[in-house]
């Protein structure tokens, strides 16, 4: 009865950790497409094909519901998947919806016209593919007006995290924040638009300053998923919980254990 959680690599473990804490009785099947990570520098068609293949693998494991715990996949592939690919009886959700709900303080089902919200200047830190998709701005515009979004494509950060080079990752974060500040000196809020980035949340906050409100997705996704399963308990599926990777299972297990500070044992998908 597991729910599927997919990410291109290890960033989705921040979401897995949050949903496991929020829903301790629900098993989760996590799949990291480590062999093809990172997705953030790939073309839209490539991201779509890889995301469909990984999602199908989780469906084959017995999951009826899969959460794309990957902003790049959510931005570049989710809508196309939902419109053209998702099989009957299956569901695929992304990580943008809970974030937009929190930022605009309105539920996704609220179809009233866009309105002004409290936050006016937002910095978005994301992968190059997520930035290029403009998915965040598009979804935000359906619900809010008057919000200035400045984006910063954080090249190299995901690669450094996946390689376990946190010193380089931290240096890159500070560099990207400096670059964003040159474009938007005083953001009111900052969005960590990649599920890898919460691993460096303290670094982002320190570089931005405590006056900037930081939106990180893991907790928001966990609450949204709990609400969804309350309304759709039939989507729990039939599989058991597991940790799968398309890459080297031992190497991925070591990296995951390092990041999460608890033992994480992956099997080869």
Q: Which of 52, 63, 70, 242 is catalytic?
A: 70
Q: Is 52 among the residues known to form the active site?
A: no
Which residue shows structure tokens 């931290």?
Answer: 170
Contact at 8 Å (CB) between 143 and 103? no
- Are the beta carbons of 237 and 2 closer than 8 angstroms? yes
Query: Do 212 and 190 form a contact (C-beta atoms < 8 A)?
Result: yes
Question: Which of the residues 52, 63, 154, 194 is marked catalytic?
Answer: 194
User: Burial, 54: exposed, middle or buried (Cβ in 10 Å; 0-12, 13-18, 19+)?
Assistant: buried
User: Catalytic: 194?
Assistant: yes
Question: Which residue is it, tokens 């799968």?
Answer: 244
Catalytic residue annotation: 70, 194
């Amino acid at each position: 009865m597991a729910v599927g959680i997919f990410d291109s690599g290890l960033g989705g473990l921040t979401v897995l950790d949050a949903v496991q804490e929020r829903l301790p009785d629900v098993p989760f099947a996590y799949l990291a497409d480590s062999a093809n990570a990172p997705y953030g520098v790939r073309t839209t068609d490539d991201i779509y094909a890889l995301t469909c293949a990984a999602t199908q693998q989780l469906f084959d494991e017995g999951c009826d519901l899969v959460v794309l715990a990957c902003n790049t996949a959510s931005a570049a592939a989710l809508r196309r998947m939902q419109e053209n690919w998702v099989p009957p009886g299956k569901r695929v959700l992304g990580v943008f919806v809970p974030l937009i709900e929190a930022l605009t303080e309105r539920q996704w089902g609220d179809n009233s016209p866009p309105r002004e919200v409290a936050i006016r200047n937002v910095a978005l830190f994301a992968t190059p593919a997520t930035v290029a998709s403009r998915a965040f701005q598009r979804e935000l515009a359906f619900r809010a007006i008057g919000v200035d979004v400045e984006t910063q494509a954080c090249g190299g950060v995901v690669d450094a995290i996946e390689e376990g080079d946190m010193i380089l990752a931290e240096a890159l974060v500070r560099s990207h924040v400096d670059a964003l500040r040159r474009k938007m000196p005083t953001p009111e809020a900052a969005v960590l638009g990649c599920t890898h980035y919460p691993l460096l949340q303290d670094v982002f906050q320190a570089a931005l300053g405590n006056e900037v409100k930081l939106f990180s997705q893991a907790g928001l996704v966990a609450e949204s998923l709990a609400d969804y399963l309350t309304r759709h308990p039939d989507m729990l599926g039939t599989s058991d919980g597991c940790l799968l990777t398309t890459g080297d299972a031992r190497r991925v297990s070591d990296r995951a254990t390092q990041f999460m500070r608890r033992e994480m044992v992956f099997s080869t998908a």
